[in-house]
Structure 1
Amino acid sequence: MATLEDLGVSAFINILGAFVFLILFAVLRIQPVNDRVYFPKLYLAGKRHHGDHSARSAVRRFVNLNLCTYVTFLSWVPGALRMTEAELVAHAGLDSAVYLRIYTLGLKIFLPIAALALLVLIPANVSGGTLLDLRKEVVFSDIDKLSISNVNPGSNRFFIHLLMAYVFTFWVCFMLYKEYSNVAFMRLHFLASQKRCADQFTVIVRNIPRISSHSTSETVDEFFRRNHPDHYLGQQPVYNANRYAKLVKKRERLQNWLDYYQLKFERHPEKRLTRRTGCLGFCGREVDQIDYYRARISELERKMASERQKVLNDPKAIMPVSFVTFDSRWGAAVCAQTQQSKNPTQWLTDWAPEPRDVYWQNLAIPFFSLSIRRFLISAAVFALVFFYMIPIAFVQSLANLEGLEKVAPFLRPVIEVNVVKSFLQGFLPGLALKIFLYILPTVLMIMSKVEGYVSLSSLERRTASKYYYFMLVNVFLGSIIAVYLAEEYQGQLE
């Protein structure tokens, strides 16, 4: 059973870890080799140049040898705290400003609630004394004395808990409402201050019916000229070019390797860079690295040209999807938010994502398979949430070492060591849980891609939604249930 000492060890390790990472960030931030990593916008704005370090020695290009900067390496913190919200939006963007507001919202919610709990709830619980009267019958720790379990059944102190529950709920809802209003205003102001973007005037149309006498482009053009004659501007059909996209990505990887070896050769022209053409570069004929990648890129470009012509000349490559552009935001909004056909499964419209936000692979998925995909993924997410309870329950059971000792007596000599016991109860359950949660977003993102959403932002939102339900069921409810079952099991053993 966790004690105050265990919580102290856990808090110390986490605070120490946070401080170490802050120091590492501050030190790595001032190293010249990381300049482009931490200040990319300054390079894009032309305020910093790579040539600034050209006159320095080889060591100074990678390591900051100015000792004064190490004394003031945290000087950026006061400047960041003094920065107004408008300056933050202009400097780092709206997303960064909202991200920081989430932390300030947490403080606004937590600090008043913590103050009320310390001044009202904990004194009411500590003065209850129920656990002290039952110490011969119930096993408890010092932490339990601070909880509601220390209040006598039928005591008027329960009305304090009831009142505080309403106060806490009202405060959380009030702060969330205020924050939502502020963020919504910030978003509208940000959009109004931006230049016109193509996605603000464009609608994506899916499940376009095929007409034997017309191409997909002609069908779309005729439909929107007839139904939206005042605002329709043009349309762009979508081709199933997934194979071509794979070739483009492969060419980008080869081009990156070619640029890398060319830069390496420019720095040391006396060295000839070679590789073998066989498996993983360990066998085969020895060739020049630069010539090898140039030949690979030339060969790949021929394949890309052939694949591109194949896509453009194949009528079956045109998918029943099109991007339709209007001459006003109002026209695009009307089209995106209204049903276009008597058949509710045809001419489906929605706001088009930004070109960089389109997840092109999912545009080729047939519309009628989307419902099946989403049903199967919903079942898979339910199974994932349910079966993840098993490792979560095992990890949380480590917080109850007494029961673990009785199940595995051979571990008792190790567990009884104070350092090991504090580590297992205070830190290990949280660490193991974080490892489980670290791989979870990747799994949920793959599931969201299978569902068939056509924008990266939609994929991220769906992944975040799945992650939220997982955290609610497993981490919050699961942890409470697991600890309760572990304590009940310990009581049965005794």
Structure 2
Amino acid sequence: MILSALLTSVGINLGLCLLFFTLYSILRKQPSNAKVYAPRSVAAKEKDAPTESNAFNFERLLPTAGWVTRAWHPSEDQLLSVTSLDAVVFMRIFVFSLKVFGFGAVIGVVVLLPINFFGSQLAADFSDFGNKSLDSFSISNVDDGSNWLWVHFCAAYIFTAIVCYLLYNEYSYISARRIAHFYSSKPQPNQFTILVRGIPVPSGSGCSDTVDKFFSEYYSSTYLSHTVVRRTSKLERLTRDADKVYRTLARLESEKEPQKRFERDGIFGSKVDGLDHYGKKLDDLEDSVRIEQSSLAGKEVRAAFVSFKSRLAAAVALHIQQGTNPTEWVTESAPEPRDVHWPFFSSSFIKRWVSKLVVVIAYVAVTILFLIPVAIVQGLANLEQLETWFPFLTSILNLTIVSQVITGYLPSLILQWSLSFVPPIMIVLSSVEGYISFSQIQKGGCKKMLWFTIWNIFFANVLSGTALYRVNILLEPKKIPGLLADAVPAQASFFIAYVVTSGWTSVSSELFRMIPLIFSIIKRLFSGKDSDEFEVPSISYHSEIPRILFFGVLGVTYFLLAPLILPFLLVYCCMGYLIYRNQLLNVYAPKYETGGTFWPIVHNSTIFSLVLMHIIGIGIFGIKKLALASSFMIPLPILTLLFNGFCRNRFLPIFKSYPVECLAKKDKEDQSDSSMGAFYDKLCSAYEDPAMMPIRRRRSTDGHNSPLLPAEV
């Protein structure tokens, strides 16, 4: 790619960013868009929430940047008080990335970039700067055997040391945050509860009786209660349908004009009274829910949530094998009650093992299928290859503006569009694995999405072309550094354009929220007003964290090879920091709390990036005929992996479970808390499946109120 093509891509995406910022600053002021741009304020009915007003106000049509100040101003403690520790950890990814890329940009742009640019390996022509290849800014332009390569060697060691130092400090800081958050939190049901699966139920006995007998015998002084799991997928669907019908009835009853209560029965049907129509439908659903609840009363899954009187007792039961058969009485941490994912609950060890195997096969299949858009992207990035495939387009492709748009902007756009379909697939695959909480599903999807992105966006692109078919080289580990050193620098220009397209534009579109805005407008057009019922969204960690971490992989890897990418990454991180703080404060509400357990994924990704940079460095110094530097690079990945091992031993256990010191201290504080009695009463029913609970919503379509389901006595 030539410099003018990159500038074309930067210009297009910068224009889109400015457009999104301008539209956001105007649209967010419109009261009708409050549920799109400030759903948290609307849900909480805050005083400063936008309210409906028909009065014309010219200031609403003027773009302003006040939202930037409001997003920047709150401290981290204030952000934690209104969101969650997971949101704070998410923002720390941007802070950490800014530190890494900021330091890398100082060395890379000030020191390494001039050395690369003034090299003569590629015999660049300075007379036509606009048509200069971006390869001239990479290490490929440094002369073979040049002593200037020792500057790159020293930079690799210094950069690695700084990144490891920052990683250690960040791991330590977030670990301390996690412990402090635990100490400051009120008693939570998941702190006193474990999940037990694979319960061996004797013939003639029930699962509930077996659990009660087992834990009453072996944990007589600490055992509190248990809740057996039932399969309620069908019941959940019925309950959800009943909720929708109830909300429709409530909306029709609130209509002041009676004629608006009449709706068409089907596409070509006659108009019917909506109150009668939906009232009968709700009656039918009521009966179906009651019948299904009755049928499930005795159908138990061999799994149960078991609660104890103290956190320490729950931790002891969690980490000790319960029976002689390790596939029975299998224990794991219980998620928060609101975090439990009931539909895919599996209690069988074999079923879960088979499910994981099926997921691996499906994951590989999706990864292979995604090579198709990668091949298309590589064809667009190479004009000569594109002219070979489509000779009738030669005259069009020879136009300067067309060639710049196709090579500089279109490949990244196609790749970004194709990648947008992958996160939902990863969530489905994680759900099938048998996870019992939304947070586990999201963490599983996050890991899958990260490695999928690294393989398909990074490796599949750098190994495309002839190198992709040289499988014999991939099977010889000694030749892998040379292969990567030859292929990775050649794709530097593509990834710079990818950062601009997938980074700048995607993060600014996150602020604009185009799809929710379109849905809101459509609802107002067809119903005359936006729906009164809406759900405050939660941030999709499984798609956002992998995107940030992949940019981290690019930044660390190309620090040594093509440091020109670092300023573009800094711009992305600055934009992301401000925009996501704004979204977390105004748009997204936490649906669960994991205590910041996403951070180990960030740490592992950074270590992988460093080791990858080292392996490529070994190969690049070998290709550049500086064998001594290549040999001296070998200890660097070893030292990095030793550092990673130290961090895993020092910090990772804190993210898996809380230490006895913390648990015992909190339990001691609870002894003097007079509200613990009421907490234990609520704990006994905290893990009741919501689908099995009576629905206490009332309807008044015929002049009297009656509960959808009778309350349990």
Question: In 1, are the aligned partners of 2:346 and 2:352 still within 8 Å (CA)?
Answer: no
Equivalent residue, structure 1, for 2:276: 291
Equivalent residue, structure 1, for 2:285: 300
From 233, 243, 248, the counterpart of 2:234:
243
Equivalent residue, structure 1, for 2:454: 472
Question: In 1, are the aligned partners of 2:25 and 2:63 still within 8 Å (CA)?
Answer: no
Does 1:17 find its partner at 2:6? no
Does 1:334 find its partner at 2:333? no
What's the secondary structure of 1:458's corresponding residue?
helix
Cα-to-partner distance string for 1:83-117 (whole Å, 9 max, x where unaligned) = 21112222333333332222222211112211211
Question: In 1, are the aligned partners of 2:34 and 2:42 still within 8 Å (CA)?
Answer: no
Does 1:179 find its partner at 2:170? yes
From 379, 383, 405, the counterpart of 1:423:
405
Residues 209 and 358 (structure 1), Cα distance of their counterparts in 2 relative to 1, 3 Å cut? same
Name structure 1 gaps, 5 residues minimum. Answer: 489-494
Question: In 1, are the aligned partners of 2:194 and 2:334 still within 8 Å (CA)?
Answer: yes
Q: How big is the shift at 1:52?
A: 5.7
Question: In 2, are the aligned partners of 1:200 and 1:329 still within 8 Å (CA)?
Answer: yes
Q: How big is the shift at 1:327?
A: 0.6
Moved more, 479-488 or 249-258: 479-488
From 169, 180, 184, the counterpart of 2:160:
169
Equivalent residue, structure 2, for 1:444: 426
What's the secondary structure of 2:170's corresponding residue?
helix
Q: Cα RMSD (Å) of the superposition?
A: 2.5
The AA in structure 1 aligned to 2:7 is: G
- The structure whose RCO (Cα within 8 Å, separation 6+) is larger is 2
Q: Distance in 1 between matches of 2:40 and 2:124?
A: 64
What is the correspondence of 1:130-279 to structure 2 with a 5 Å cutoff?
Answer: 130-132=121-123, 141-263=132-254, 265-266=255-256, 268-276=257-265
Cα-to-partner distance string for 1:150-170 (whole Å, 9 max, x where unaligned) = 122222222222222222222
Q: Distance in 2 between matches of 1:111 and 1:242?
A: 50
Question: In 1, are the aligned partners of 2:196 and 2:332 still within 8 Å (CA)?
Answer: yes
The AA in structure 1 aligned to 2:274 is: Q
Equivalent residue, structure 1, for 2:538: none
Equivalent residue, structure 2, for 1:402: 384
Question: In 2, are the aligned partners of 1:240 and 1:364 still within 8 Å (CA)?
Answer: no
Residues 104 and 147 (structure 1), Cα distance of their counterparts in 2 relative to 1, 3 Å cut? same
Q: Distance in 2 between matches of 1:6 and 1:483?
A: 22
Moved more, 426-435 or 390-399: 390-399
Equivalent residue, structure 2, for 1:30: 29
Name structure 2 gaps, 5 residues minimum. Answer: 469-485, 488-713
Question: In 1, are the aligned partners of 2:193 and 2:306 still within 8 Å (CA)?
Answer: yes
Q: Report the TM-score when normalising by structure 2.
A: 0.62
Q: Distance in 2 between matches of 1:176 and 1:188?
A: 18
Question: In 1, are the aligned partners of 2:31 and 2:51 still within 8 Å (CA)?
Answer: no
Residues 391 and 43 (structure 1), Cα distance of their counterparts in 2 relative to 1, 3 Å cut? closer
The AA in structure 2 aligned to 1:288 is: D
Q: Distance in 2 between matches of 1:413 and 1:449?
A: 50
Q: Distance in 2 between matches of 1:206 and 1:421?
A: 60
Deviating above 6 A after TM superposition, structure 1's stretches of 4 or more consecutive aligned residues are: none
The AA in structure 2 aligned to 1:190 is: H
Residues 52 and 481 (structure 1), Cα distance of their counterparts in 2 relative to 1, 3 Å cut? closer
Residues 124 and 50 (structure 1), Cα distance of their counterparts in 2 relative to 1, 3 Å cut? closer
Question: In 2, are the aligned partners of 1:261 and 1:289 still within 8 Å (CA)?
Answer: yes
* Greater Cα radius of gyration, structure 1 or 2: 1
What is the aligned residue count? 466
Q: How big is the shift at 1:370?
A: 0.9
Question: In 2, are the aligned partners of 1:397 and 1:482 still within 8 Å (CA)?
Answer: no
What's the secondary structure of 1:226's corresponding residue?
helix
Does 1:455 find its partner at 2:421? no
Residues 83 and 271 (structure 1), Cα distance of their counterparts in 2 relative to 1, 3 Å cut? closer
Q: How big is the shift at 1:460?
A: 0.6
What's the secondary structure of 1:131's corresponding residue?
coil
Q: How big is the shift at 1:33?
A: 1.8
What is the correspondence of 1:44-193 to structure 2 with a 5 Å cutoff?
Answer: 45-48=44-47, 53=52, 56=53, 59-60=54-55, 65-71=56-62, 73-132=64-123, 141-193=132-184
Q: How big is the shift at 1:427?
A: 0.8
Residues 350 and 201 (structure 1), Cα distance of their counterparts in 2 relative to 1, 3 Å cut? same
Question: In 2, are the aligned partners of 1:43 and 1:49 still within 8 Å (CA)?
Answer: no
The AA in structure 2 aligned to 1:239 is: R
The AA in structure 1 aligned to 2:19 is: V
Q: How big is the shift at 1:295?
A: 1.0
Question: In 2, are the aligned partners of 1:399 and 1:425 still within 8 Å (CA)?
Answer: yes
Q: Distance in 2 between matches of 1:356 and 1:176?
A: 32
Q: Distance in 1 between matches of 2:434 and 2:338?
A: 17
Equivalent residue, structure 2, for 1:492: none
Q: Distance in 2 between matches of 1:347 and 1:282?
A: 54
Residues 50 and 271 (structure 1), Cα distance of their counterparts in 2 relative to 1, 3 Å cut? farther
